[in-house]
Amino acid sequence: GAVVSQHPSWVICKSGTSVKIECRSLDFQATTMFWYRQFPKQSLMLMATSNEGSKATYEQGVEKDKFLINHASLTLSTLTVTSAHPEDSSFYICSARPRAGTDTQYFGPGTRLTVL
């Protein structure tokens, strides 16, 4: 149980294009989903927290207009990297939490974004 999927697992795009990454909780409903970014040899950095049906809360220094997050249902959140540039190349990981009142999060397998 508690499986989180991400799609795509990797994507290569040209500079200036937008890329959408999906995060799904497959066997549970997630009231909250989180998006992280990880650069090589570094730890995960929390980008934003999204609650179903409300606007995402972004961490300091993360551009909300650059990284659009939509959490339209209890099983799906999407991250859109708008007008991607090479410096946006990174490993993007989502996680989902079954419900408020617990702190257990289940992570997706990650999406490798390469911007040329």
Partner 1 sequence: LAKTTQPISMDSYEGQEVNITCSHNNIATNDYITWYQQFPSQGPRFIIQGYKTKVTNEVASLFIPADRKSSTLSLPRVSLSDTAVYYCLVGDGPMDSSYKLIFGSGTRLLVRP
Does the footprint of partner 1 cover residue 7 (CB under 8 A)?
Answer: no
78 near partner 1, rule: CB under 8 A: no
**Least distance in angstroms from the C-beta of 18 to partner 1:** 23
Residue 56 · residue 71 · CB < 8 Å: yes
Instruction: Please identify, using beta-carbon distances, which residue of 34 and 67 lies nearer to partner 1.
Output: 34
The least CB distance from residue 58 to partner 1, in Å, is 12
Tokens read off for 21:
């990454």
The residue among 43 and 87 lying less far from partner 1, judged by its C-beta, is 43
49 contributes a contact to partner 1 by CB under 8 A: yes
The CA distances from residue 58 to 1, 28, 36, in Å, are: 29, 24, 11
* E strand or H helix that includes residue 38: strand 32-38
